[in-house]
Amino acid sequence: MGSIDSLYDKVKRFVTEFTSGKSTSSAMTGYMTGELQIVVFMMILASFFRIFSIPLGMVILAAVVGAIFIFGPMIKTIEDENSSDLNRVLFWVMIYFAVIIAVTLWG
Amino acid sequence: MNESISNLWSIPLFIIIPILTAIALNIMYNRKKAISVTAVASSFALVVISALSPFGFHWFTGHPAVLPTGGYTYRADLLGWRLSLEYYYGPLQQIAIFLASLLLLFVVMISIKSLKKNIGPYISLLFLTFMSSAIVIMVNDFYHMWIGVEIGSLIVAGVVLASGEAVSQKAALKYTFFSALSGAGLAIALALILGVTGYSNISDAIKAMPLSNGSLASILYVAFGFTVLSWVYAGGLAPIHPLKADVYGASFPHATVLLQAQSKLMLVAIGLLLLRVFGTLPFAKEVMLSISVLTMMLGVVMAMLQTDFRWTLAYLIVSHSGLVTLGISLGTVQGIIGGLFQAINDVVYMSVLLLACEGVYYFGRGTSIKSVSGIAKRAPWLAIAAILGAFAASGVPPFNGFQSEIILIQASLNYGMPELAIVVLMVSVTTFIALFKGIYNIFLRPDDALNNNEKTGTPVPKILYACLAALIFITVLFGVYPQLAINFLTEAALKVVYIPWVP
Amino acid sequence: MDSKGLKGSRGIIAVIALMIIFVGVSTSLLQLNGNVARGISPEYNELAPYEAPNNLASWVYDYRGFDTLIETGVIYVGALVSVLAIGRGIVRVKGVEGDAPVAPSSMEFNVSTLNVILKYFGVPVIILLVAYALLVLTGAATSGGGGFQCGVIFSSAYLLGMIFYGRKNPLNLSKKFLIAIGGVGWSIYALLGLPGYLTTGYWQYNVGADLWTSGVIPGVDGMAAVVPDILRQLFGDPFRLLLVMSDGTYASTAGIVPLINIGEAFNVIGAICLIFLVFVYGWNDEEEKSR
């Protein structure tokens, strides 16, 4: 389809990717604010790397901005990863613990 | 600063009164009159004791400390190895236990008023929730801290189960499943520290810590990792926040008041323990900081996505736990004061919001923004309370949330991390949006069923309004005169930073 | 529950994470070899001859007696919460129809299919088990054993009776009785702290053994209170023993430790038997009322 899509179609497709269920206006505001929060938060996280060296921080910030454009919207993924499904939580606990052990012991 | 009393009269009462009350209430089971008299009287006694008690230590079972020069002493300010289990009641403990007992009194009165039959076991669990919070905030002993966390998580499961719905059974099951993991984790950390120092008393262990022996550092790191795991679990930080949010959301809102107070106190207690014992290790504060930042953001983003007001509040509580731990993990005096003050404020304003949510629940149509609307017309004071609570939660002056968040922002700027200040700001702004999304839909949006004079549910009891008024008074009091609370917290922060071996 | 959470690439990542944890934890545990500090334990051992001959009993119920009080609470709360999950004490808000409470059904089992040998051996075995439980309880301060063990052995006898003979078994304990005995057990334990609290100000000070105010151990500074003789005799004398050791003879007494063990045993019996009974037969509020 590509080129014959109007801007309206593109925006519509982007917006409908946010939710899977019934998109009421109050649910949509939630998802869109959440998405924006995540975007800003990723950029803040990227800028933390200035502590090690400022050019590195700039590069990572640019990479994150690029990634946001490619992978967005990601609020659905965030929501899925934050579900209270036992296996998912267990998975993230293991990752956390491995990172803590690795960073503190060999960092 | 160094109280020498080692047999303070009040400390055992904070533990024994709830235990005996809980046993009595459990046996009474269905005798409502007896239950209400006993429960209200003993929770009131706890409030009075916490307000009147002086500061000091209690050495349970009354064995003295062993002096390094030989001989035994009962003076708590002398340097000596403790033979008994040690509790400390200082300014931080006083304000925390006073607030917790006040909330216990409120919650007990509300639940007696609004629940029907068989309330004995439920209210006894509420008392035990208080007991576990009092244990963790006062204790100065690894082993006993572990027991406090262990019994605390079991009690949380019980409180959630008591609402009897399928969703709460699931939440309780998942939560207890993880208690096996992190309870055992804390036990391993305890075993490792006991191994390298030989003391389970935290002060003694810090004094005996073999920091010069480099090869033992890795043992301390593993102990640190396991302690962080239980910190994350007890306080509901990321990545266990979905389970904790389920626990908050699936219990009655009035019970969540106590559950969140308990988990804030556990966050403070274990957080200060982490700083005192492991604060000098490289990376320790960084690990704690990153967990806090993630918790804040994930909590607040998930709160935006919820359509049930209970779950919105649940995720906001999680997110604001991140604010508390952010302050503590900065590790500076200002940061710790900010974190502790945030914990106190958070407990108060979240209680306002939760009790307002409880009021909504009484209308009998649940708390989802899809099913309930137009409450402001039927209960205008409830709406006002919810809006004031939302202002306090999102850091609007003159409420208490503003005062602690500004300290946190200043602390992170002074620490050289303006990014953290931005995250704190984002959290408070998003809190505002998430809360007002719920408040608008539930209280302010006009409702068709209401116009048809549909009568469901039960009238909101007057005692709920009285409790709301008292709590809002506290939010304004701490907002206008923050020094009142900060005076209680400064000493604890100074001790953690400069003399970590003193409880 | 969806099991996709740990399949595919996520599973591989999880395995790698577990390996990192394993390597990290095990290498640092190896560092512990030869570096274990004795800390406070020599001090406890020095005091051992003045207390219960079973040093472990002194540790668990005297020096760290308050820890054990809360640990006992874990068992009590465990029973309370397990039975709550089955239905005792589910609460509802007045006038609000929430989702119906989850109603578990009782287990169906038939005792008539049991073979004759088991049926006639059951009673003696139960009697022996109860006797053993009492032996373990009364020997708590002098040999291995104690309240926890007594409670567990007793409740295994109860479970055996329930499996062999159904609800009307030789140990016919009702739910109300079990709840009461559990509560009484924990309160006995909690209240045994009171004599020490009232006389010396220290909760759960062992007034029977009375190591510190009686002058048995010299060089104690700062304890102003003195335990009255009557309390020392009341709690100490029934359990007094003469310990003949290589470095002398000690008149030692466990003091309140044996009494604490009795409370502990009541608590454990109440808690665990209640869990067995309710898990097998379920909980029904109407039925309880009519009984």
For range A38-64, the mean pLDDT: 86
Question: How far is residue C123's CA from residue C15's CA, in Å, rounded to a whole number?
Answer: 52
Is C23 a domain residue?
A: no
Per-residue pLDDT at B450 exceeds 60? no
Nearest-CB residue to C74 (from B144, B151, B210):
B151
State CA B240 to chain mean position distance: 16
Question: Angle, nearest 10°, between helix axes B483-498 and B253-278?
Answer: 30
Domain with A60, as residue range(s), is 2-106
Q: For B39-83, write each residue's pLDDT tens digit.
A: 999 999 999 999 999 999 999 999 999 998 888 999 988 888 999
Q: Are B393 and B351 in contact (CB under 8 A)?
A: no
Q: Which residues of A touch B287 (CB under 8 A)?
A: 100, 103-104
Alpha carbon distance C275, C34 (integer Å): 44
Cα(C288)–Cα(C291) distance, rounded to whole angstroms? Answer: 5
Mean pLDDT of A55-84: 85
Cα distance between residue A18 and residue A27, in whole Å: 10
Task: Tell me the shortest Cα–Cα distance from A7 to chain B, in angstroms.
Answer: 27
Residues on chain B touching C27 (C-beta within 8 angstroms):
218
Quote the domain boundaries for residue C272. Answer: 46-90+101-206+256-290
- Scanning B452-503, the segments in alpha helix (DSSP H) are 462-480, 483-498
pLDDT, tens only, C23-66: 999 988 888 888 888 888 888 888 888 888 888 888 899 999 99
- How many Å apart are CA A23 and CA A25, to the nearest integer? 6
Per-residue pLDDT, averaged over B171-177, amounts to 91
How many residues belong to chain A?
107
Q: Under DSSP, is residue C174 helix (H, G, I), strand (E, B) or coil? A: coil
Pick the closest to residue A85 from B313, C11, B179, B178 (CA basis). Answer: B178
How many interchain CB pairs under 8 A, B with C? 259
Q: How far apart are CA C72 and CA C193, in angstroms?
A: 14
The distance in angstroms from the start CA to the end CA of chain A is 50
The pLDDT value given to residue C250: 84
Task: Give the full edge-to-edge strand order of the sheet including C220-221.
Answer: B81-82, B65-66, B72-73, C220-221
Domain that holds residue B155: 10-498
Q: Which of C84, C214, C288 best probes binding to B when mutated, by most B CB atoms within 10 angstroms?
A: C84
Q: Which residue has the tokens 């890795």?
A: B218
From B314, B56, B30, select the one nearest B175 (Cα to Cα). Answer: B314
Extract the tokens encoding B194.
């006991």
Q: Which two tokens stand for residue B240?
A: 């266990």
- B115/C contact by beta carbon, under 8 A: yes
Asked if the Cβ–Cβ distance from C102 to B166 is below 8 Å, we say: yes
Do β-strands B56-60 and B85-89 pair in parallel, antiparallel, or remain unpaired?
antiparallel
Contact B237, B325 (CB under 8 A): yes
CA distance C116 to chain B (A): 39
> C33: distance to nearest CA of chain A, Å?
18
Chains that touch A (3 or more CB pairs under 8 A): B, C
With vertex at residue A84, the alpha carbon angle to CA A83 and CA A85, rounded to the nearest 5 degrees, is 90
Classify strands C92-93 and B115-116 as parallel, antiparallel or unpaired: antiparallel
Whether residue A98 lies within 8 A of chain C, CB to CB, comes out as yes
* C26 assigned to some structural domain: no
Least confident of B22-26, B400-404, B498-502, C5-9: C5-9
Give the pLDDT confidence score for residue C102 in this predicted structure: 67
pLDDT on residue B1: 47
- The answer as to whether C184 is a domain residue is yes
Question: How many angstroms separate the CA atoms of B181 and C21, rounded?
Answer: 14
Q: Tell me how close the Cα of B368 comes to any Cα of chain A, in angstroms.
A: 12
Residues β-bridged to residue C240: C253
- Domain total of chain B: 1
Q: Which residues of A touch B (CB under 8 A)?
A: 24, 26-27, 29-31, 33-34, 37-38, 40-41, 44-45, 47-48, 75, 78-79, 82-84, 86, 88-89, 92-93, 95-97, 100-101, 103-105, 107
Please report, for residues B308, B310, B435, the alpha-carbon distance to residue B391 in angstroms, rounded to integers and kept in the order given.
20, 18, 9
CB atoms within 10 A of CB C241: 14
Can you read off the two tokens belonging to residue A43?
Answer: 């950029």
Q: How does residue C169 score in pLDDT terms, banded at 50, 70 and 90?
A: confident
* Distance (Å) of CA A62 to CA A55, A74, B294, B462: 11, 18, 21, 57
pLDDT digits (tens, 9 = 90+) for B219-253: 889 999 999 999 999 999 988 999 999 999 999 99
Residues B345, B478 contacting (CB under 8 angstroms): yes
How many angstroms separate the CA atoms of B386 and B392, rounded? Answer: 10
**Distance between CA atoms of residues C254 and B198, nearest Å:** 25
Q: Is residue B1 part of a domain?
A: no
Strands (E), B75-208: 81-82, 85-89, 115-116
Q: Are strands C248-253 and C240-245 parallel, antiparallel or unpaired?
A: antiparallel
Structural element, H or E, at residue C269? helix C257-281
Quick one: pLDDT at residue C1? 45
Sign of dihedral through CA atoms B359, B364, B370, B376?
negative
Tokens representing residue B463 in the block: 């005692």
Kindly report the nearest CA distance between residue B475 and chain A, in angstroms. Answer: 28
Can you give the three-state secondary structure of C44-98, one letter per residue? HHHHHHHCCCCHHHHHHHHHCHHHHHHHHHHHHHHHHHHHHHHCCCCCEECCCCC
* Average pLDDT of the residues in B288-305: 92
pLDDT at position C5 over 80: no
Extract the tokens encoding B52: 């009147």
- Within C35-64, residue ranges assigned H as helices are 41-47, 55-58
* Cβ separation C1–A86 shorter than 8 A: yes
Please report whether residue B403 resides in a domain: yes
Taking 90 as the threshold, does the pLDDT of residue A34 lie above it? Answer: no
Phi and psi at residue B246, in whole multiples of 5°? -60, -40
| Distance, C-alpha B372 to centroid of its chain | 30
The distance of B456 to chain C (nearest Cα, Å) reads 8
pLDDT for res C36: 87
User: How far apart, in whole angstroms, are the C-alpha atoms of residue B230 and residue B248?
Assistant: 18
Rounded mean pLDDT of chain B?
91
- Rounded to 5 degrees, φ, ψ at C44 are -60, -40
Which residues on B lie below 8 Å from C92 (Cβ)?
115-117, 164
Give the distance from residue A72's alpha carbon to the nearest chain C alpha carbon, in angstroms: 21
How many structural domains is chain A composed of? 1
Query: CB of B304 within 8 A of CB of A37?
Result: yes
Residue C279 to chain A, least CA–CA distance (Å): 25
Burial class (CB in 10 A: 0-12, 13-18, 19+), B415: middle
Distance, CA of B14 to CA of B93 (rounded, Å): 11
State yes or no: pLDDT of B5 exceeds 70.
Answer: yes
What are C149's two structure tokens?
């063990």
The reply to whether B19 touches chain C by the CB within 8 Å rule is: yes
The 3-state DSSP class for residue B447 equals coil
Q: What is the average per-residue pLDDT within B174-192?
A: 87
Shortest CB distance from B163 goes to which of C44, C47, C91? C91
Helix (H, G, I), strand (E, B) or coil at B494: helix
C-alpha angle B334-B338-B384 in degrees, rounded to nearest 5: 155
* Each residue's pLDDT tens digit, B368-380: 888 888 888 888 9
Asked whether the predicted pLDDT for residue B388 surpasses 60, the reply is: yes
Chain A residues whose beta carbon lies within 8 Å of the beta carbon of residue C28: 105
Name the helix (H) or strand (E) containing B34.
helix B32-52
Q: What's the gap between Cα C245 and its chain centre?
A: 31
CA atoms within 13 A on the CB side of B348: 31
On chain C, the residues whose CB falls within 8 A of the CB of B457 are 95-96
Is the residue at B350 inside a domain? Answer: yes
State how many domains chain C has.
Answer: 1
pLDDT of residue B275: 94
Give the span between the Cα atoms of C81 and C75, in whole angstroms. Answer: 10
Four-residue CA torsion sign, B122, B128, B134, B140: negative
* Residue C89 banded pLDDT, cuts 50, 70, 90: confident
Chain A residues lying within 8 Å of C14, measured CB to CB = 91, 94-95
pLDDT recorded at residue B2: 59
- 3-state percent helix, strand, coil for chain B, nearest multiple of 5: 75, 5, 20
Q: Tell me, what DSSP letter sits at residue C166? A: -
**Residue B14 near residue B60, CB atoms below 8 Å:** no
Q: Measuring CA to CA, how many Å separate C90 from each of A78, B162, C84?
A: 35, 5, 7
Residue C245 covered by a domain = no
Answer yes or no: is the ipTM higher than 0.95.
no
Confirm if B285 and B220 have CB atoms less than 8 A apart.
no
User: Which positions in chain C touch B198 (Cβ < 8 Å)?
Assistant: 36-41
Query: Is B184 in CB contact (< 8 Å) with chain C?
Result: no
Report the C-alpha gap between B339 and B272 in whole angstroms. 10
Cis bond leading into A73, ω under 30°?
yes
Question: Of B157-171, B436-450, C139-153, C205-219, where does mean pLDDT reach its minimum?
Answer: B436-450
- Write down the pLDDT at residue B365: 81
Q: How many residues does chain B have?
A: 503
For residues A67-72, give the mean pLDDT: 81
Q: Could you tell me if residue B485 is inside a domain?
A: yes
Q: Which of B212, B392, B223, B378 is nearest to B320 (CA)?
A: B392
Q: Any CB–CB contact under 8 A between C5 and chain A?
A: yes
pLDDT tens digit sequence for C227-264 = 899 998 999 888 888 888 888 888 888 889 999 999 99
DSSP annotation of B308 reads: B
Task: Convert the pLDDT of each residue in B353-369 to its tens digit.
Answer: 999 999 998 888 888 88
Residue A96 Cα to chain centre, angstroms = 18
Inform me whether the pLDDT recorded for C4 exceeds 60.
no
Residues of chain B in contact with residue C71, where contact means CB-CB under 8 angstroms, are: 147
pLDDT value at residue C146: 86
Q: Compare CB distances from B162 to C38, C62, C90 and report the shortest one's residue.
A: C90
List chain C residues with CB under 8 Å of A91.
Answer: 5-6, 10, 13-14
φ, ψ for residue B102, nearest 5 deg: -65, -45
Chain C, residues 9-48, CB within 8 A of chain A, namely 10, 13-14, 16-18, 20-21, 24-25, 27-28
Q: Which of A37, A92, A99 to mutate to test the interface with B (most CBs of B within 10 A)?
A: A37
Res C104 pLDDT > 70: no
DSSP B47-58: HHHHHH---EEE
Place of tokens 């609470």: C73
Q: Give the confidence band of C88 by pLDDT, cuts at 50, 70, 90.
A: confident
Task: Please name the residue that has the structure tokens 């923004």.
Answer: B369
Q: How many CB atoms sit inside 10 A of residue A20's CB?
A: 9
Contacts of A65 (CB under 8 A, 6+ apart): A43
On the question of pLDDT at B185 being above 70, the answer is yes
